[in-house]
Chain A
Amino acid sequence: MKSLFLIFLMCVFVLSEISIAGDIKGKVKAKGVKNAANAVIYIAKIKGKTFTAPKEAELMDQKNMSFVPHVLPVLAGTRVNFLNADDVLHNVFSPDDCVDKFNLGSWPKGQEKSYVFKNPCEVTLLCNVHPEMSAYVLVLETPYFAVTDKEGNYSIKNVPPGKYTLKIWHEKLKGKEVSVTVPEKGEVTENFEIKR
């Protein structure tokens, strides 16, 4: 009887969590680039609130001489596994101080090496064997983020109701941050324009 009550309470809690959350969606217009893909829209640090990094690692692939995905937003503390999917030697290193300029070396096809991104910052990833390859890991302080598709569409789901600062990041372009109020139910639309 006691366990049934506990399950009931958990269900109520879960349902309430699901129902009391809204979505942020919108479209990004990018000027000066081929398309609006790979912009990151994210909620900036929320005062007094911290989040635990997911136990599951994210994956960054090196396939057909490209980092896939090109842009990977993660919550601080997230482990990222780097897979070499090519039968060509690749390398992963970063020139950024916030990740101690790490260099993972190179490894055979099908194998992975990993790195934990602890500090919030923008991390540039490069391959010192193939200079044309690059990627970005955007280490954030909240788990509420999304990456735009080629048309510039994005959607951040299940955001608790409240007032937040919504920011946008792009490797080449800049946009203004906005203040957004997420309703208890439904969605709010915020469009961005980014340019050089």
Chain B
Amino acid sequence: MNFLISTQRNLLFIFLLVFTFIFLAADQLSAIPAFARKYNTSCSTCHYAYPKLNAFGKAFKNNGYRYPAGQDAEMTKEEPVSLGSEGYKKVWPDAIWPSDIPGTVPVSMHAIGRVFAAGGFDDPTTTATEEDKIVSFEIPHELELLFGGTIGENLSFFGELEWEHIEEFAYEFALQYDFSPGFHLKLGSVGPQATPEHHKLTAEHYNVVDLKTQSGKFRLRNGAGGGIEFWGAGNGIGGSGGFTYAIGIGNGQNDADNFDINKEKDIFGRVTYKFGGLGEIGGTEGQTNNTSAFYEDNSFRIGGFFQKGTALATNLNDEFSVFGGDIDIWYNRLNVVALVMNMSSDYKGYDRKSLAYFVEANYVLYPWVIALARYEFTDIDTDIANPTVSSLIPGVVFMVRANVKASLEFKIPLDDASKNANKEKITLQFNFSI
């Protein structure tokens, strides 16, 4: 009997683990050490400071995780394993179309640890509710197994398994058919990537991707769940800059078995245009510079995105939509990113409108030291005179090695409510990836 109860508890625990994952989608990643091994190249070939991509990293991704201009085979230093010789293309459909797989297992590991000093600590040894500052070693914070690569000339894949704390497990992957850099068909974990390739360098999430709908069942960093996406990119006039687009449909919120939790689908789209700098799909045409660096790409990029869907909570639909725009400016060692987003959440008969935006500046002091500052503003309900939330987040990132990072940031609340609630937070985060 005890055994049965124990088994039921375990099953319930597993169910909760998986269910938790549904609502805690992982951050999107774009490149991993498996690629460094494949091409025998440094992380900084693709990363400004990982996980944030530089211009070449975006071009690599836009080519379906391949080197631009059809050079992938000659740039690959790790010999792939053939799954059929080239001649079998002539035999098809009387044979399986030939392909290849990476020569070594394309898996990488990413570990994150944190030390922070923050408020909101309720001392469990006392009965009184206290919210004091505490210094805590949150190590480990997270462990990820990342995988990515190509399968032959037209297929590519990317995914991750993520363990965060004891109760959070998440996994996602996508397989895509790369017709050309201008047209990819992705099947798997999809979403609009509202902060395109600008993954946060420090611990604090961007406010726009963390803003929840009224039910709490959707936020932008969840993406659109499992689905299908058409996307592509192309260079602009003269080989520099260019466009990207993405349009897709997904389950949105899933249940524990990865089935759609309601009959409605999420739809999303994104479009950007970049002026100047490296072409969105790479190449060297017109790219003469007197100086150069992996973290520089003098350019201006503007983009827009939307997602519309339905979340479900306590048998009630939460009809939501988000739309917004962003700019991404690179000038020598300075990079400025700004994003503004409107969110509508219609739940329990009330249609809430929210506004959130941030502006972030990053400056490369040395190729291994980046100073940054971010201002965030969130108005959770623009129709009522409620207090807004705003904060300033200065920080500094140290690339101890190309694959080892440390960051220190200070979240300074600017609104009275957050100040009174003791919401300031200092976080030291370190990551390494192999």
A and B associate in one complex: yes
Q: What is the interface of chain A, defined by CB distance below 8 A to chain B?
A: 64-65, 84, 86-89, 91, 103, 105-109, 111, 128-132
- A104 CB, min distance to chain B CBs, angstroms: 8
Q: Which residue from chain B places its CB closest to the CB of A64 in the assembled complex?
A: B74
Q: Do B293 and A128 have beta carbons less than 8 Å apart?
A: yes
Indicate whether B127 reaches chain A with its CB closer than 8 angstroms: no
Contact A88 B68 (CB under 8 A): yes
Which residues of the partner chain A approach B282 to less than 8 Å between Cβ atoms? Answer: 87-88
Say whether A132 contacts B41, CB under 8 Å: yes
7 CB-based A-B contacts, threshold 8 Å: A86-B71, A87-B68, A106-B292, A109-B283, A128-B294, A130-B41, A132-B40
A100 to B74 alpha-carbon distance, docked (Å): 34
* Complex CA distance for A84 and B288, rounded to whole angstroms: 11
CB pair A128 B292 closer than 8 Å: yes
CB-CB < 8 A to B286: which residues of A? 108
Whether the pair A107, B293 counts as a contact (CB closer than 8 A) is no
Partner of B283, one of A64, A87, A106, A107: A87
Given contacts A91-B292, A128-B293, contact A106 B287 (CB under 8 A): yes
**Residues B291 and A109 in contact, CB atoms below 8 Å apart:** no
A interface majority secondary structure: loop
Pairwise interchain contact A131-B289, C-beta atoms closer than 8 A: no
Q: Are B293 and A89 in contact (CB under 8 A)?
A: no
Are B292 and A88 touching (Cβ within 8 A)? no
Assess whether B71 is in contact with A87, with CB atoms less than 8 Å apart. Answer: yes
Interface majority SS on B: helix, strand, loop or mixed?
Answer: loop
Contact digits for B289-317, partner A, Cβ 8 Å, 1 yes 0 no: 11111100000000000000000000000
* B291 partner, pick from A65, A87, A88, A105, beta carbons under 8 A: A105
User: In the bound complex, do residue B42 and residue A132 qualify as a contact, i.e. CB atoms below 8 Å apart?
Assistant: yes
Q: Which of B41, B284, B289 contacts A109 (CB 8 A)?
A: B284
Which residues of chain B are within 8 angstroms of A88 by Cβ–Cβ distance?
56, 67-68, 71, 75, 282, 284
> Given A86-B71, A107-B284, 8 more contacts at CB 8 Å?
A88-B75, A88-B282, A91-B292, A105-B291, A106-B288, A108-B287, A129-B45, A131-B44
Q: Which residue of B lies closest to A110 (CB)?
A: B284
B interface residues, Cβ below 8 angstroms from A: 39-42, 44-45, 56, 67-69, 71, 74-75, 278, 282-294, 402
Residues of B within 8 A of A89 (CB): 56, 278, 284, 287, 289, 292
What CA separation (Å) do A86 and B289 show in the bound complex? 16
A65 and B39 contact, CB distance less than 8 A: yes
Contacts of A65 on B, CB cut-off 8 Å?
Answer: 39-41, 75
On whether the beta carbons of B45 and A130 are closer than 8 Å, the reply is: yes
**Complex Cα gap A48–B168 (Å):** 77
* Closest-CB distance, B282 to chain A (whole angstroms): 7
Q: Kindly provide the distance from the CB of B36 to the nearest chain A CB, expressed in whole angstroms.
A: 9
Identity of the chain B residue whose Cβ is nearest the Cβ of A109 in the assembled complex: B284
Q: Chain A's nearest CB lies how many Å from the CB of B351?
A: 49
Residue of B nearest to A108 (CB): B284
Question: When chains A and B are docked, how far (Å) is the Cα of A103 from the Cα of B289?
Answer: 11
Q: Distance (Å) between the CB of A127 and the closest chain B CB? A: 9
Contact B289 A105 (CB under 8 A): yes
B78 to chain A, nearest CB (A): 13
Which residues from B are CB-within-8-Å of A84?
Answer: 284
Nearest CB of A to B50, in Å: 14
- Hey, which chain A residues are within 8 Å of B40, CB to CB? 65, 132
B69:A87 contact, CB within 8 angstroms:
yes
CB <8 Å contact, B283 and A129: no
Known contacts A130-B45, A131-B44; A107 and B71 CB within 8 A of each other: no
